[in-house]
Structure 1
C-alpha cells in the first residue's frame, strides 16, 4: 500500500480522508463516484421535465429565509422564472447580465433548479463524477487528489484479471479503467470502466468461493452409516407424504451425510414448502448414525416452535430432545449442559445459546441453522466448531433462483424447494388503499365470529414523530377498546422480554388471544393453524419478500386464508409492488422482483450473510457478468497449478483467505 501522505496535503484533510476509510493511495483511487452529472443542453419534453440551459440573468435576485432554510429566485432571458433552495451563498456571484448554466426541473415557464453553475454551458459541458464525501472536502479538491494519486501510481497498477480473459472479454486494463471511472470523457468511457471493474470484483469473489469449495472437498468428514430400513420407516410414519422437492432435498442431504467429505449445503425454500420436515428427517439420519444434532434458530419463538415440531415427529421413537435458550434459569441450563456433555441428549434446539462456551457436546455430528442470513459468520462458525468434522446445513426462506444461488453461495452445494405440500390453498391477497381498518372491519368481525384468529402487523413498536406510520402499541390499544368484552387482543414486539413474548405466543396458539397485534417479530416460522387472516398496516414500508414471509404465517392449514395490505401511499412504485403481490404467490418470483428494486443488502442482509458488499457490481443487475466470472474462476482454480500466469492470482486469493476465511473483499 502506498502512503497517503505522498499527496502532500494538510493533516486536517488527511483526517477527513481517514474518516472515509481512505488511508492509502489505493484506497483513494478505489473510492468511486456514486453517480455522474452529464451536462449538455437539454430542453424538457412531455415525458421528461429535466432541463439544462444556459441563460443571462436579467432581474435582481430575491432571497427569502425561514429559519436556516432559504429560497432564492430570479429571471433569465425574459422566459424563465428560476427558484433554488438553500443556495443563498451563490448570491454574490449572481449579478445582472451574468451568463449562468441552470440544472433542474421545468414546468412551463418555471424552473426549480437543483444546481447553478456560474459559467456558460460550453465551459462545463461533459460528464462530471459526483462522490460521496465528508464535510470539509469539495468535489473539485477530491478529484484533484485522485488525479495526483493516479499519476503517482502510474505504471504500477496491475490488472488483477489475467491477460487471457482481458482479451477474451474485450476488457480495458485496470489502470485505464480507473482513469475512465474518475475522469470520463464520455458515457462510453464509464461503460468500459465498469465492464472491467465489475468483472474483476466478481472474479475475485468467485475465485474465493471456488477455492473455499475446493479446500472443503479435501476436508475429511465422517461417512455416517445408519439403518436405512429404520430411516425409511420413520419417513413413512410422518403425518403427510413428502413432496417431490422434499424427497430430492432429503436424498441430497442424506447423500452428504453418508459421504466421507464434510457437508456444507444451502437449503432454500419458499414459504411453507416444508424445510422443517426435511431438517427433521436429516437430524434423524444423523441420530441413527450415533451422533448428536443441533438446530439453531434466530429467535426463541422460532426455536420453541422447532422444538415442539421435533417432539411431535419423534414422539414414538427413543430420540431425546432438549430446548436451550437464553431465558432458561441457570439451574435449567446447567442440567441441559450436563445432559449434552454426557450424550443423554440426541437433538438440541436453541438460539445462539447453543454455541456458548459452557456448552460441550458429547458427539456433535450435524449442525443446522435456520434463517441463515440472520446469523453472523462468526456465530455459525462458533457452533460448527463445537464438534469435529461436523456436517453443516444452512436454511433460508428468502428464495432466489437456483442459478443465482449457486453463483452467490458458490462455496456450498444448493438444494431448492419450490413445491407446496398437498392441500395448501393460496392466500387471498388484497391491497386496500386506506390508513385505517374501516374498509375491512365487517370482514374481520365475520371472520372472528366464525372462530378464527387474526394477525395485525405494524411497522413500528411505538408512535414516532419522524415517521408517519401506525405503531403496534397504538393499534393494540385502539382494538382492545373496540373489542372489549368480545375478543381478546394481544400485543407482541421485539422489545419485550423473551419469556413475555413466549407467553403471548403460547396464548395465541391456545386461542386465549383472538387478535395478535405485532411487529415483524412473527415474520419467520411462527405457525398457528387457526390464524387465517392477516392485516398489514403501512404495507408500503415493507419489502416484497418480507410481505411474502409475513403472509406465509396464515394459510398453514386447510382453510382459506386472507391477507390485507393497508396503504395510503401515493407512490406509483409502492402501489405497483402491492398490486404485484395480489396476483403472485411464488416466493422465487417475488424475491427476484424485490431484489431488482431494492438490492441484495436490503433483502438478504449481505454483511451478515458472509457475502461481500461489492463496490460497483450488483449481483442481480449484473448477473450475466457474475455467471461468466464463475465459469472463468472454475477453470482457473482447476488449472492454476499448471499455468504460471494463474499462480500469482491464486496466491493472492489464498493469502487473503488466511486473513479472512470467508471471502476476499
Structure 2
C-alpha cells in the first residue's frame, strides 16, 4: 500500500490532517469521493437567485468581518461577488468563519436565499472552499474544519494521485462482464469521478466504481458460501420417514402454500451432502414456527437432535410451550437398549432461569440423547451443553445474535459433521439488504398469512379526540370479552428508567382512562417469577389490559387480544411498530392498533402513515430502507466487508442483484482463481483470520 505522504503535494502536516479523516494511503485518497459537484457551465449566478428558494453559488470572497450582536453572540458577515452580483452571508455562533473566508478565496455556498435591506443574503449557509478550480465540473469533497482540510486542498492531492499512480491501472473486471453490464473501464472511471468534463462522465464513473464495491462484497459472501459447502461435511438426513408427515397430517388446519414450499426447500437441503445454511423470512404471523419444527423433526426422525435458540427468556419459554403442545402424541424409535419400540418426542428448555439441579439433569439427558429438541437462550452456547448427536439448529430472531454466536452452535455437532442451520426473522428484510447482509445464506420467504387472519386496522391518533376514541374502543372490546395491550412510551436510557415510566403510566391509566378494568403491568425490571405470573394471568383472561414496555415485542401470543395502543409511536422504528402491532390480530376477530403521536418529524410522520396504509411487512421494510438508508442494516453485516462509499442498497437495488449474479459466475467458473488482480483486491478487504479459509483452494 502506497502511503499518501509519497505524493509531492502532501507535506507531513497535510498527511497528519488527512489521517484524521481516515486517508492514509493513495487508495484511501482516490476512494475519498466528491460528495457533490458544481457545474460551472450550468450554475446559477447571484443576479439569478430567487428569494425563498435554495440555491448553490460559486463566487469569490470580497469582504469579511465579525462583530458581537446585542445578545453578545458572535456574528461573522461576508460579501461574495461572482462577476454578476453580490451576495451577503451572515453566520451566527461560528466565529471561525472569519478565518475560513479570507478575501480572494473562491467558495461554493448552499442555502436559502433571503432579502434583507434590499440585498440578497443567506444565513448560516453550507460553505465549501474549492480554490481556483478551472474545470467545467468542480468536485466538492467532504471537508473537515477540525483537521483543517478544504475541498480544494483534497482535490489537488487527488489530482496528483491520479496522474502519478493511477494512470495505468489494471482493470480486474473481465471485459465480457464490463460489456454485458455496460460499465466503463476502472482507470477512466476513477478520473471521471474526480475530474469529470461533463455530468455524464461522473455519473458513468460513479456507476462503475459503485458496481465494484457491490461486486467485491458479493464475491466475499459467495466465496464464504462455496467454502462452507466445499469444506463442511453435512448430515445426510433421511426424508423418507413418517414423523414429519404424521406431524403435518395431525394439524387441525391446512398449511399455506408458502409454508409447504418452505418445508420442501428445507428438507431438500437437509437431505443433501452440504450443511444447510438458510434464512427463513416471514411476516408477523406467517407460521415460521411450524416450518422450523418440521425441520427439527426431520433431524429427530433420523436419530439426531435439534436445538432452537431465542434471544429472550420470554420467547424461549413460549417456543418451548408451543413445541411441547405441537409434538404431543408424536413418537420415535426408542433405539437399542430400550424396553419399548417407541417413545414420545421430548422437548427440553434451558435458560438462565433453569436451576442448577435441573440444569445438571438436563445436561445429562442431553448428552445421552434423551432430549430430542432443546429450546433455550444464549445458555445453549455454554461449554457445558453437549449434545449426543446434534443434527439441526434453528435460530429465531437472528438479528439479535452475532455471526460468532451462530457459529458456536454449529460446532456442537457430533464428530466432523456440521449441523444444518436455519435462521429465522419476523422482521422482514428488503431483498437487496438480505442479499448483502446474509448473502452467504440461501433464502426462503413466507409471503402468505394463514387463512382466518383478519387484517389489523391501524389508526394514527393525532389529537385528543382520536385518543379518546381509542380508549373507548379498548373499553368496548373488553366489554365484549376481549383484551388489549398498552405499550408505554419508549424512554431513552436504562431499562430501569423505562420501567419507572411504565409504572407511572400504569397507575395513571388504572385510575383514569381504564378505571374499573383489570389492568396488569409488565416490564423488564420485574422479577422473573412475577413476569411469568402477570403473563399467565393475561393468557387466562384474568387481566383485561396489559400495560407493558417493548418486552412484548416478540413471542407473546394471545389470540384473544384485539386492541393495541402504542403511546409516543413516532419515537419507535418502523420494524418495531410492525412487530408490536403483530401482537394483535392473531385470532379471527377484528383487531385495531392505535398509534399515538403527532409525528414530530417529517420522517416520523411518513413512517406512521405507512403503517396506517399497509400491514405488509415486506412493503414496509422497503419504505423503511428508503427512509433510514442502509447504515442501520449494514451495521448487522458480517465482518470483513468494506464500507459502501458510492453504492447504495436503497438507490441501486437492481445493481445489487446484478453484482450477485456476476459474483456467482466468477467464483463458479474459476475466473476468480485465474484473476490475481481481483483476488488481491478481495484480500485487502477480508479479515486476516478468514483469508486462509476463503483463499486456500
TM norm structure 1: 0.86
SS class of match (1:415): strand
Give the alignment of 1:198-597 within 5 angstroms.
198-218=210-230, 219-225=232-238, 228-317=241-330, 318-387=344-413, 388-400=417-429, 405=434, 409-434=438-463, 437-461=467-491, 472-482=502-512, 486-494=516-524, 501-569=531-599, 571-597=601-627
The 1-side partners of 2:277 and 2:21 are apart by: 37
**2:227–2:694 Cα contact (<8 Å) kept:** no
- Establish whether residue 52 from structure 1 lines up as the match of residue 64 from structure 2: no
- The one-character-per-residue Cα deviations of 1:167-198 (angstroms, maximum 9, x if unpaired) are 44343333333334344454333312211111
Q: Which moved more, 1:442-451 or 1:35-44?
A: 35-44
Q: Which moved more, 1:321-330 or 1:42-51?
A: 42-51
**1:431–1:566 Cα contact (<8 Å) kept:** yes
Q: How many residues align?
A: 658
- Seen in structure 2, the aligned counterparts of structure 1 residues 124 and 93 have a Cα distance that, compared at 3 Å, is farther
The 2-side partners of 1:523 and 1:544 are apart by: 12
- Seen in structure 2, the aligned counterparts of structure 1 residues 576 and 323 have a Cα distance that, compared at 3 Å, is same
SS class of match (2:69): strand
**1:462–1:474 Cα contact (<8 Å) kept:** no
SS class of match (2:637): helix
- The one-character-per-residue Cα deviations of 1:5-45 (angstroms, maximum 9, x if unpaired) are 43586777656655545443323333334445667325456
**Deviation of the 1:278 alpha carbon:** 0.9
- Establish whether residue 64 from structure 1 lines up as the match of residue 69 from structure 2: yes
**Deviation of the 1:533 alpha carbon:** 1.0
**Deviation of the 1:509 alpha carbon:** 2.9
**Deviation of the 1:534 alpha carbon:** 1.1
Q: Which moved more, 1:240-249 or 1:599-608?
A: 599-608
Give the alignment of 1:128-143 within 5 angstroms.
128-131=139-142, 133=144, 135-140=146-151, 141-143=153-155
**Deviation of the 1:549 alpha carbon:** 1.8
Q: Which moved more, 1:645-654 or 1:584-593?
A: 645-654
- Establish whether residue 174 from structure 1 lines up as the match of residue 174 from structure 2: no
Name structure 2 gaps, 5 residues minimum.
Answer: 331-343
- Seen in structure 2, the aligned counterparts of structure 1 residues 652 and 333 have a Cα distance that, compared at 3 Å, is farther
SS class of match (1:273): coil
Give the alignment of 1:122-133 within 5 angstroms.
126-131=137-142, 133=144
**2:222–2:667 Cα contact (<8 Å) kept:** yes
- Establish whether residue 162 from structure 1 lines up as the match of residue 174 from structure 2: yes
The 1-side partners of 2:412 and 2:301 are apart by: 20
- The one-character-per-residue Cα deviations of 1:331-353 (angstroms, maximum 9, x if unpaired) are 33333222221211110111121
Q: RMSD over aligned Cα, in angstroms?
A: 4.0
SS class of match (2:485): strand
The 2-side partners of 1:19 and 1:81 are apart by: 33
- Seen in structure 2, the aligned counterparts of structure 1 residues 483 and 59 have a Cα distance that, compared at 3 Å, is closer
SS class of match (1:266): strand
**1:127–1:185 Cα contact (<8 Å) kept:** no
Give the equivalent residue in structure 2 for 1:2: 2
Give the equivalent residue in structure 2 for 1:41: 44
Instruction: Find 1:617's aligned residue among 630, 641, 647.
Output: 647
The 2-side partners of 1:249 and 1:256 are apart by: 11
- Seen in structure 2, the aligned counterparts of structure 1 residues 491 and 462 have a Cα distance that, compared at 3 Å, is farther
The 2-side partners of 1:173 and 1:415 are apart by: 36
**1:371–1:394 Cα contact (<8 Å) kept:** yes
The 1-side partners of 2:349 and 2:288 are apart by: 19
Give the equivalent residue in structure 2 for 1:25: 26
Give the equivalent residue in structure 1 for 2:636: 606
The 1-side partners of 2:567 and 2:694 are apart by: 39
**Deviation of the 1:556 alpha carbon:** 0.8
SS class of match (1:357): coil
Q: Which moved more, 1:52-61 or 1:610-619?
A: 52-61
The 1-side partners of 2:525 and 2:210 are apart by: 41
**Deviation of the 1:292 alpha carbon:** 0.6
Name structure 1 gaps, 5 residues minimum.
Answer: none
The 2-side partners of 1:294 and 1:47 are apart by: 62
The 1-side partners of 2:113 and 2:38 are apart by: 17
Q: Which moved more, 1:76-85 or 1:182-191?
A: 76-85
- The one-character-per-residue Cα deviations of 1:423-474 (angstroms, maximum 9, x if unpaired) are 100001111113894452322232333333322234523689xx9xx95455
**1:320–1:346 Cα contact (<8 Å) kept:** yes
SS class of match (1:606): coil
The 2-side partners of 1:117 and 1:221 are apart by: 57
**Deviation of the 1:541 alpha carbon:** 2.8
- Seen in structure 2, the aligned counterparts of structure 1 residues 137 and 358 have a Cα distance that, compared at 3 Å, is farther
**Deviation of the 1:117 alpha carbon:** 7.6
The 2-side partners of 1:210 and 1:548 are apart by: 32
- Seen in structure 2, the aligned counterparts of structure 1 residues 258 and 640 have a Cα distance that, compared at 3 Å, is closer
**1:181–1:194 Cα contact (<8 Å) kept:** yes
- Seen in structure 2, the aligned counterparts of structure 1 residues 579 and 21 have a Cα distance that, compared at 3 Å, is same
- Seen in structure 2, the aligned counterparts of structure 1 residues 91 and 155 have a Cα distance that, compared at 3 Å, is closer
Instruction: Find 2:657's aligned residue among 618, 622, 627.
Output: 627
The 2-side partners of 1:175 and 1:161 are apart by: 12
**Deviation of the 1:562 alpha carbon:** 0.4
- Seen in structure 2, the aligned counterparts of structure 1 residues 7 and 302 have a Cα distance that, compared at 3 Å, is farther
SS class of match (1:595): helix
